[in-house]
């Protein structure tokens, strides 16, 4: 995919805070010191009186993510051929994805969103796939990736190769494969693998068909959904976009738009990765803004959404085989799939932990059982 780099920080959006205005400097300093001592004492008192920090239950480990299964899902997508929109390969792959998600269980509902949207080559057929896990639950998170393959390998140096479509093993299939494997672990209500919250998995179409350096021609599927969601007044606690998450040696710095719109969630995901031992993939390093599916989700849909996307830590370049014919299965690494998949799965289970504990209380057991059959 291609992006336009820019800053969303508007002039005057942030103000530098200044200390102790309105008092002579010596008096201001004395008052500031006194206030600090009072706050310190109050904080110590709260710490010694409240046992909550010491008695809080440890995070519940998420089920083990299978990188082997995710890799198999990438191979299956590639076997259809390049999933270029309005092609037989694209249609067959979409049909297969719908069937795979429906097979997860009766607690899953698949919604397809079709439309004709304007693109650089005229009207394009759009087919978004929305997978609703526990659709009756009000508390939800949204996980998404694009499943279309780019129609031209415009980063090739050979003119003939530039006119060929991209296999899109990493830039497309990897994110979808991780989401397929995640869905398999989101077990039926009241089971040991019930995450406790609702999960919406969105597979965006028409993400990667735009003209390089013209951002508005990209991310058409997520932009259409953001303006026309599958459910009126749809809300999610937060969202995560997966993009190019399967290559060998991948690194995922903290992208600027993600930090602007979902800073707390960025830190939550990166801390989880470090806790699980995947810190080398998720460095606490910032990277410049890019236009990806998280932008319409943030700006139009109002869902605080972060982007996990492969960027080089030195020059911020994309994955080395981006928009090339060489973006094939040979570029995929199971270690990267595991790092991303296990991290995101753990984030979902951590987010749902309070709701699992609530539903496990004796006074809510009957209500939880009735909710599960809606």
User: What pLDDT does residue 121 have?
Assistant: 64
Are the C-beta atoms of 25 and 174 separated by less than 8 Å? no
User: What pLDDT does residue 299 have?
Assistant: 97
Are the C-beta atoms of 251 and 278 separated by less than 8 Å? no
What is the three-state SS of the chain?
Answer: CCCCCCCCCCCCCCCCCCCCCCCCHHHHHHHHHHHHHHHHHHHHHHHHHCCHHHHCCCCCCCCCCCHHHHHHHHHHHHHCCCCCCCCHHHHHHHHHHHHHHHCCCCCEEEEEEEEEEEECCEEEEEEEEEEEECCCCCCEEEEEEECCCCCCCCCCCCHHHHCCCCCCHHHHHHHHHHHHHHHHHCCCCCCCCCCCCEEEEEEECCCCCCCCCCHHHCCHHHHHHHHCCCCCCCCCCCEEEEECCCECCCCCCEEHHHHHHHHHHHHHHHHHHHHCCCCCCCCCCEECCCCCCHHHHHHCCCCCEEEEECCCCCCCCCCCCCCCCCCCHHHECHHHHHHHHHHHHHHHHHHHHHHHHHHHCHHHHHHHHHHCCC
Rounded (5°) CA angle 347-353-358: 160
pTM here is: 0.82
User: What pLDDT does residue 358 have?
Assistant: 73
Of 148, 269, 213, the residue nearest 2 (C-alpha): 213
CA distance 358 to 190: 12
CB atoms within 10 A of CB 218: 27
- 111 pairs with which residues across the strands? 130
User: What pLDDT does residue 183 have?
Assistant: 96
Rounded (5°) CA angle 277-279-281: 115
User: What pLDDT does residue 300 have?
Assistant: 97
Q: What is the CATH number of domain 67-363?
A: 3.40.630.10
Residues in contact with 95: Cβ distance below 8 Å, sequence separation at least 6, in sequence order: none
pLDDT tens, per residue, the chain with 374 residues: 545 444 343 333 222 222 333 334 444 444 444 444 444 444 433 333 333 333 445 678 899 999 999 999 999 999 999 999 999 999 999 999 999 999 998 899 999 999 988 766 668 899 999 999 999 999 999 999 999 999 999 999 999 999 999 999 999 999 999 999 999 999 787 788 899 999 999 999 999 887 766 777 899 999 999 999 999 999 999 999 999 999 999 999 999 999 999 999 999 999 999 999 999 999 999 999 999 999 999 999 999 999 999 999 999 999 999 999 999 999 999 999 999 999 999 999 999 999 987 766 554 444 433 333 33
């Amino acid at each position: 995919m291609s992006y336009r780099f820019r800053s969303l920080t508007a002039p005057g959006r942030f103000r530098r805070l200044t200390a102790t205005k309105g008092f002579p400097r010596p008096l201001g300093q004395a008052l500031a010191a006194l206030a600090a001592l009072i706050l310190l004492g109050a904080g110590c008192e709260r710490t010694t009186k409240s046992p909550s920090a010491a008695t809080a239950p440890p995070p519940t480990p998420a089920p083990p993510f299978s990188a082997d299964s995710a890799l198999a899902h990438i191979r299956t997508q590639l076997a259809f051929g390049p999933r270029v929109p309005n092609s037989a390969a694209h249609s067959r792959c979409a049909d297969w994805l719908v069937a795979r998600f429906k097979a997860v269980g009766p607690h899953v509902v698949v919604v397809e969103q079709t439309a004709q949207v304007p693109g650089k080559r005229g009207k394009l057929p759009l087919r978004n796939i929305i997978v609703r896990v526990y659709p009756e639950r009000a508390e939800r998170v949204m996980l998404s990736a694009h499943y279309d393959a780019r129609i031209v390998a415009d980063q090739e140096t050979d003119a003939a190769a530039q006119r060929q479509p991209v296999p899109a093993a990493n830039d497309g299939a990897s994110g979808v494969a991780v989401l397929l494997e995640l869905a398999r672990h989101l077990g039926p209500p009241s089971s040991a693998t019930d995450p406790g919250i609702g999960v919406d998995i969105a597979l965006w179409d028409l993400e990667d068909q735009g003209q390089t350096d013209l951002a508005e021609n990209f991310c058409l599927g997520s932009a259409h959904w953001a303006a026309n969601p599958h459910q009126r007044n749809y809300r999610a606690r937060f969202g995560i976009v997966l993009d190019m998450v399967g290559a060998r040696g991948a690194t995922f710095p903290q992208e600027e738009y993600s930090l602007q719109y979902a800073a707390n969630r960025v830190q939550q995901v990166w801390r989880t990765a470090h806790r699980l031992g995947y810190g080398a993939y998720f460095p606490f390093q910032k990277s410049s803004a890019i236009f990806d599916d998280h932008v319409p989700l943030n700006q139009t849909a109002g869902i605080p959404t972060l982007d996990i996307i492969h960027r080089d830590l030195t020059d911020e370049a994309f994955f080395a085989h981006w928009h090339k014919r060489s973006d094939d299965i040979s570029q995929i690494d199971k270690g990267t799939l595991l790092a991303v998949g296990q991290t995101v799965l753990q984030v979902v289970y951590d987010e749902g932990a309070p709701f699992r504990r609530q539903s496990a209380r004796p006074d809510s057991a009957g209500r939880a059982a009735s909710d599960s059959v809606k």
